[in-house]
Amino acid sequence: MRVLVIGLGGVTNGGKTTLAEKLKKMLPKCDIISQDDFFKPESEVETDERGFKLYDVLDALYMDELVKSIRNWMKSPASSGVSTELQSPCDNLKNTDDVYILIVEGFLLYNYEPLNELWNRRYFLTLPYEECKRRRSTRVYQPADTPGYFDGHVWPMYLKYKNELEENASNIVYLDGTKSQEELLTSVYSDIIQELKKLME
């Protein structure tokens, strides 16, 4: 049995969840874990002096639980309830019977050291400031974004973590989140297929 662990990280509202769901339908035995499921309850998330809840930092998440979930999946992916029904033929890939794929999607995946030994492939979606702010303003969050939250907390944290990545990490594929969903899907899908082929050689 072989597993492929794919990271799909990057900017808020960059299209990570949509891309992950579409990939799941096209890849054999593919599962998704979402980092958003590991947020601490609001009462445990720190508030800064401006009254902003600091959600866009590692401390707002149960990161060790996320790592544990991924490791548990890697140990026995077949028992995770992963669908083995493939909705479209997988580029004539043979012998994928013992291969399982996990896509982990989230906004802060590559700045936490214990996660970095698990990835086979890492993607990072980017958006320019204006587009990101526009998309964010159309979404409803629990708790709701307070006035000034995007500029005061969300965007600065995104830039901070992205800069850290660019200084320290290699082997990250940066994706332009302004491209059409189809274009992004095509490029990531074909890249994962290459990775699968390597795994099966």
Residue 37 reports pLDDT greater than 80: yes
How do residues 138-171 score in pLDDT, each as one tens digit?
Answer: 988 887 888 999 999 999 999 999 999 998 878 8
Please state which of the ranges 36-40, 77-81, 174-178 shows the lowest mean pLDDT. Answer: 77-81
Q: How many domains does the chain have?
A: 1
The catalytic residue among 36, 48, 91, 151 is: 36
Residue 52 reports pLDDT greater than 70: yes
Mean pLDDT within 32-37: 96
How do residues 71-119 score in pLDDT, each as one tens digit?
Answer: 999 998 877 665 555 545 455 566 667 889 999 999 999 999 999 999 9
C-alpha–C-alpha distance, residues 85 and 59, integer Å = 37
pLDDT given for residue 144 in this prediction: 83
Please state which of the ranges 17-26, 121-130, 143-152 shows the lowest mean pLDDT. Answer: 143-152
pLDDT given for residue 185 in this prediction: 96
Edge-to-edge strand list for the sheet holding 121-126: 30-34, 99-105, 2-10, 121-126, 172-176
C-alpha 2, offset from chain centre: 21
**What is the span of the domain harbouring residue 7?**
2-200
Return the residue matching tokens 């009254």: 51
Q: Is 36 a catalytic residue?
A: yes
The CATH number covering residue 121 comes to 3.40.50.300
Give the C-alpha distances (Å, rounded to integers) separating 93 from 2, 68, 96, 197.
15, 30, 7, 8
Mean pLDDT within 122-147: 92
The confidence band for 45, taking pLDDT boundaries of 50, 70 and 90, is: very high
195: enclosing H helix or E strand:
helix 181-200
